[in-house]
Structure 1
Amino acid sequence: MKYIREFRDRGLARTLAEAIARESDTGRDYHLMEFCGGHTHAIFRYGVQDLMPDNVEFVHGPGCPVCVLPVRRLDDAVELAERHGVILCTYGDMMRVPGTKQRSLIRAKADGADVRMVYSTLDALKVARDNPEREVVFFAIGFETTTPPTAVAVKQAEALGLTNFTVFSNHVMTPPAMRHLLETAGEEEVKIDGFLGPSHVSSVIGSNPYKPFAETFKKPVVIAGFEPLDVMQASLMAIRQINEGRHEVENEYTRVVTPEGNLKAQVLVAEVFEPRRSFEWRGLGAIPESALKLRARYAAFDAEQRFPLAAKDSREVKSCECPAILRGAKKPTDCKLFGTVCTPDNPMGSCMVSSEGACAAYWSYGRFRGPEEQKKGAAA
């Protein structure tokens, strides 16, 4: 299959590994933060970290939109389903994320709330059309990649005259979060020498938005594809920049990403959404203009305008290190709950639930086990 086998070739992987080892300065360390859950899973699925020299380390960033959603927003969604009696439509990952006191949407559903998993915004619109007597709320979540479909859904709902359809918007934006990480990295001594820029996000916004903070903070950004050779080639490009003292935005993923991005999608999003003054990210705190809300023009489709939401004393699960993991301050194996109390069957935090979460990657590919345990798992 084109663009799959070519980017998983073992011979090319060995060649790239040799080049990285050859060009890495043994007198220093390299800390490369991947800002994409897809990169995190590729690194562990294909053993990319094992092909790196000891002085090249991947730092897992907040590249999982489900993971970075604060507990309070999940608690709000549970309230919408339980207190307001709406049909709440959401993507599968959000169903099992634990909120305050381990209350999740799937538990709310088990207790009688009408929570439905959908695969697309079109599914949510169909639910609204099929249930004209019920209020239907679409729990919109994601980075710039999933925002355009939500904008399309709002415009379609207006065109169809659906007065029972609203959106609970939790769309967040990548560049402000990357800037925030660089501004606060010193507080916890999180070391970031460069970024592997997100793939799908960059296909929408392009590579240009990363230039200002790459120049301001003097950190290279290399946009990388999802395949193992993409990650390795992007790592080599970042290492070369660091060695040469450069801090530019480079694009390894040229087969998909352009400097200007998807202009049609950007115009659509700008028409329907506007930046929030501030928005809380799990683990990162409040970040100015890092999320989107519906414009006043589409207020009739804003769930936060239609349904009053109570103030909450929302809390993380005690001892869960998901917030620190999202900042790059800790790894999943630094969490006391990981692999003991917290497993995919009994998640304590969103990082273990989402298919893009770092804890889920560590668990799925057995990277937290010793060599002998990994061999036994592979044999099984």
Structure 2
Amino acid sequence: MKFVDEFRDPELAEHLLQRIKVLLNTAPLANRESVRVMEVCGGHTHTIFKYGLDRLLPSRLELIHGPGCPVCVLPRDAIDTAIEIALQPKVILASFGDALRVPGTRMSLLQARAAGADVRTVYSPMDALALAKQHPDHSVVFFAIGFETTIPATALTMLQAERENVENFTMLARHISIIPTLKALLDDPELENDGFIGPGHVSMVIGTEPYEFVAQAYGKPLVVSGFEPLDLLQSLQMVLEQLACGTSVIENQYARVVRKQGNAQAQQAISTLFEPRASDYWQGLGEVAGSGLQFRPEYSHFDAEQHFLCDASKPSDIVEQGCCDQVLKGALQPQACPLFGRVCTPSQPVSALMVSSEGACAARYLYRSGEHRDVG
């Protein structure tokens, strides 16, 4: 408990909040109507709503919720492909639980399971590999999603399957990379963020060096943050310190976990199995150049899409009446969507933003009980 208390100490929180208020009243920030800081990671969004950090901060400091939830940006065609595979005879589709309720074009994986598909929840790709060993008469397909946080586990599992010659194990790999995503956000003329809170778990793998372009090419400060309340408050203070001083550098608040060079072994595992795709399609964001990963040719036998000859038609990104694209890139707060809390709820989600525990809409709904009724 001592470790937890250290990062949730109310006196330290008050000290950081006072420092943030002082910085906002310091030139050149004092004359600005608002200061916009985007937290890229959905885990940070969850912490902000859970602990009410947005309510504690001055209203001029706007926290913008970015697209850092891999489930939330899954295009409908990824779900449709997973369902197409799962409905085939003698197939077991293994997936993380938060992907099961994401709507596809016609249904979700959960609805496909109700229709007879063998869809199973796993907690790691190794669980899926174990299923393949237990069911040698079935094809076991792992639905692999996530940023660099989960890609090393996927890669290491496939390498183990290769060593053990597990021939009935493949993957529907829809992994994505954070750096092209950040660049796409910075290049979007509709978005005017003053600084960024960088993702902690992704940075544990890739390090802090890949973010240097944010400061050097775009002149924006970025601070890699941990996930405790005091982590985020300190990271916001560090961003504001830079803005007040007119500097733009990459800083690492999460130094107890994140190193500048990242994790070399994890990086090697990723580069062994995967290579960048020319572009990938994201729910709400459209095409993001270089953001997707695909199997290298020598490992293409693990590619479930090739094995099952799935339809590779252009993905559909239609969300009727919703504002998911605007919420995903931080141009709109979740509660401003006309569907939020009325048509779109956790029990009847319109999109993954209301499904994933890291989705901005789900976090807002969960930790602002009753407020959604007043949206209008």
Q: Do the structures match in fold with TM over 0.5?
A: yes
Tell whether the 8 Å contact from 1:84 to 1:307 is kept in structure 2 after alignment.
no
Unaligned 5+ segments in structure 1 are: 374-380
How high is the TM-score relative to the length of structure 2?
Answer: 0.95
Aligned residue pairs total 368
- Deviation sequence 1:172-219 (CA, Å, 0-9, x none): 1101100110001x2x3x221010000100001000000023210111
Structure-1 residue corresponding to 2:112: 108
Unaligned 5+ segments in structure 2 are: none
* CA–CA distance in structure 2, aligned partners of residues 314 and 70 of structure 1: 7
Cα distance change of structure 1 residues 315 and 285 upon mapping to structure 2, 3 Å threshold: closer
Structure-1 residue corresponding to 2:258: 257
SS of 2:38's partner is strand
* CA–CA distance in structure 1, aligned partners of residues 224 and 316 of structure 2: 35
- Deviation sequence 1:252-299 (CA, Å, 0-9, x none): 111001100011110111111111111111122111211211111111
Tell whether the 8 Å contact from 2:283 to 2:317 is kept in structure 1 after alignment.
no
Q: Aligned partner of 2:340: which letter?
A: F
SS of 2:343's partner is coil
Q: Trace 1:260-339 onto structure 2 (pairs within 5 A).
A: 260-310=261-311, 311=313, 314-339=316-341
Q: Trace 1:11-30 onto structure 2 (pairs within 5 A).
A: 11-24=11-24, 25-28=29-32, 29-30=34-35
Structure-2 residue corresponding to 1:91: 96
Structure-1 residue corresponding to 2:9: 9
Structure-2 residue corresponding to 1:198: 199
* CA–CA distance in structure 1, aligned partners of residues 315 and 128 of structure 2: 30
SS of 1:163's partner is coil
CA apart distance, 1:120 = 0.9
Tell whether the 8 Å contact from 1:344 to 1:352 is kept in structure 2 after alignment.
yes
Q: Aligned partner of 1:245: which letter?
A: G
Cα distance change of structure 1 residues 105 and 221 upon mapping to structure 2, 3 Å threshold: same
Q: Trace 1:44-63 onto structure 2 (pairs within 5 A).
A: 44-63=49-68
Q: Trace 1:208-219 onto structure 2 (pairs within 5 A).
A: 208-219=209-220
Q: Aligned partner of 2:144: which letter?
A: A
CA apart distance, 1:312 = 6.0
Higher deviation after alignment, 168-177 or 315-324: 315-324
Structure-1 residue corresponding to 2:81: 76
Q: Aligned partner of 1:23: which letter?
A: L
CA apart distance, 1:314 = 3.0
Cα distance change of structure 1 residues 318 and 351 upon mapping to structure 2, 3 Å threshold: same
CA apart distance, 1:85 = 5.2
* CA–CA distance in structure 2, aligned partners of residues 204 and 35 of structure 1: 16
* CA–CA distance in structure 1, aligned partners of residues 238 and 370 of structure 2: 28
CA apart distance, 1:343 = 1.1
SS of 1:97's partner is coil
CA apart distance, 1:86 = 2.0
* CA–CA distance in structure 2, aligned partners of residues 112 and 298 of structure 1: 31
* CA–CA distance in structure 2, aligned partners of residues 120 and 313 of structure 1: 27
CA apart distance, 1:141 = 0.3
Q: Aligned partner of 1:260: which letter?
A: Q
Q: How many percent identity over aligned positions?
A: 48
* CA–CA distance in structure 1, aligned partners of residues 315 and 71 of structure 2: 20
* CA–CA distance in structure 1, aligned partners of residues 264 and 136 of structure 2: 35
Tell whether the 8 Å contact from 1:195 to 1:221 is kept in structure 2 after alignment.
yes
